[in-house]
């Protein structure tokens, strides 16, 4: 029998495939073939070349206006649609994680995975990139995905300038890391605040721009010593009742990472976490809460001005 949890999990997987694309562990779709440019197929999860001109960093269809409606149409849907925003929304060129580590941490391991798409002829096993090397050009009918992965060990030490580590086989993809001392009495001496970014430094082209994009990007960081939990300062020395209650209720819940242009996931057990990673579609499991049984009190579902009421016997 299919449970509601299994149905929700299937819906999340379908949403991931539809909006972002295959995940790092998805072997079934690792070498998928799209009949449309991947930047048209997927809505998020990719990085464009840093410093690329606006026509490459934006959606070509963003400024398309909806069709005009005739005067005879009088339904609610016949109203003139709002104009698109004047300011263009640019695709990101980088994404990363910020976190805290102790003075005992000297290095962390980074696992970077992404997908490259190349023009592909469905009637041939030879890609258009190989044809261009031979001086041939053919009509592009599809795009084939190439699954990519790299593992780097990066040092963790206080730096005045960002450190860059080019990814082998990334054709310009680079890890950029910055570290600085945390001068806060709430943390042990020597605690470092670090940020690791995956940046697309590929050369932008006006032709097949999708060849220079990095799709389904994922950054995973592991630290054997464990990442330092980040406390929530909003509940400290506050007169706000809600903040104080939340600080008390969630005092044993910890934050280990913050995402930039992407969400962060921490694989933690209590206050110990050795792995953090990025995710383009964040999910969260909320435990089910059952109403308590209180003597002489009936928990009713009556609505009074939109609010639940307690009915005393």
SS3 content of the chain, % helix, strand, coil (to 5): 15, 35, 50
Nearest to 156 by CA among 224, 55, 68, 214: 224
Q: Each residue of 50-79: pLDDT tens digit?
A: 998 888 888 765 555 555 555 555 555 566
> What tokens appear for 110 in the block?
């980074």
Tens-place pLDDT, residues 240-255: 888 888 878 777 788 9
pLDDT at 303 over 50: no
| Cβ atoms 176, 166 nearer than 8 A | no
In whole angstroms, what is the distance from residue 268 CA to residue 158 CA?
25
Nearest to 170 by CA among 155, 151, 153: 151
Per-residue pLDDT tens digits for 199-215: 999 998 877 889 999 99
Which residue in the block uniquely carries the two structure tokens 């929530």?
A: 232
First to last CA, the chain: 40
């Amino acid at each position: 029998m299919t449970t509601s949890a299994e149905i929700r999990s299937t819906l999340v997987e379908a949403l991931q495939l539809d909006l972002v694309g295959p995940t790092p562990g998805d072997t079934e779709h690792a070498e998928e073939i799209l009949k449309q440019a991947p930047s048209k197929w997927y809505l998020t999860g990719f990085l464009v070349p840093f410093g690329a001109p606006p026509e490459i960093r934006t959606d070509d269809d963003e400024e398309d206006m909806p069709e005009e409606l005739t005067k005879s149409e009088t339904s609610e849907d016949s109203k003139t649609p709002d104009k698109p925003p004047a300011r263009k929304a640019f695709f990101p060129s980088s994404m990363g994680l910020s976190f805290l580590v102790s003075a005992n941490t000297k290095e962390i391991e980074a696992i970077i995975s992404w997908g490259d798409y190349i023009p592909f002829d469905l009637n041939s096993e030879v890609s258009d990139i190989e044809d261009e090397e031979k001086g041939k050009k053919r009509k592009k009918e599809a795009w084939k995905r190439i699954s990519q992965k790299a593992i780097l060990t990066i040092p963790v030490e206080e730096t005045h300038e960002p450190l860059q580590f080019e990814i082998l086989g990334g054709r310009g993809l680079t890890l950029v890391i910055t570290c600085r001392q945390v001068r806060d009495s709430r943390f042990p001496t020597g605690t470092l605040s670090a940020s690791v970014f995956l940046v697309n430094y590929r050369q932008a082209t006006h032709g097949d721009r999708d060849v220079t994009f990095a799709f389904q990007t994922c950054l995973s960081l592991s630290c054997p010593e464990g990442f330092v939990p980040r406390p929530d300062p909003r509940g400290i020395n506050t007169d706000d009742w809600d903040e104080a209650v939340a600080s008390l209720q969630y005092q044993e819940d910890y934050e280990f990472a913050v995402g930039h242009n992407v969400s962060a996931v921490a694989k933690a057990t209590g206050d110990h976490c050795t792995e953090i990673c990025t995710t383009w579609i964040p999910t969260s499991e909320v435990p089910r809460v059952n109403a308590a049984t209180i003597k002489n009190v009936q928990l009713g579902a009556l609505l009074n001005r939109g609010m639940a009421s307690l009915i005393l016997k």
